[in-house]
Amino acid sequence: MPATLQIQAGSNKLSEIEFVQLTTKADVEENRVACFEINGHSVVLSQFKGEFFALANMCSHAQQTFDNGRVRGHKLLCPLHGAIFDIRDGSVLGPPALRPIKSYPLKIENEEIYICLNVD
């Protein structure tokens, strides 16, 4: 059963976002990528100092997945040409990528990790 949370989006408008169960904290080790397919989305999870983050599993440079990528601290390195992204928000930290990658909100409940997929 998905968890639902209502958030304030704009002045008087409420938006409903839905979190779906993805995995457990134990499946996402620090300095490792953990890749998942869920509801038509390919996502890569990583951990930095006990916090968990999710990005779209597709480099914005040449459409390479991060399945064989590396994580060092808060940096995600693309395995194909070495672009570097910030796992915390998907921003570009190093070339050759120029565009950020999508970041997904996560929610942690006990040992479970939930992801919100319906965000822009």
Minimum gap (Å) between residue 15 Cβ and ligand FES: 32
Among 22, 44, 83, 115, binds ligand FES (CB under 6 A): 83
* Long-range contacts from 33-42, C-beta under 8 angstroms, 24+ separation: 33/66, 33/67, 33/69, 33/70, 33/71, 33/76, 35/65, 35/66, 35/67, 38/115, 38/117, 39/117, 41/104, 41/117
Minimum gap (Å) between residue 22 Cβ and ligand FES: 23
Residue 80 sits in the site that holds ligand FES (CB under 6 A): yes
Contact flags string 53-72 toward ligand FES, x per CB under 6 A? ------x-xx-x--------
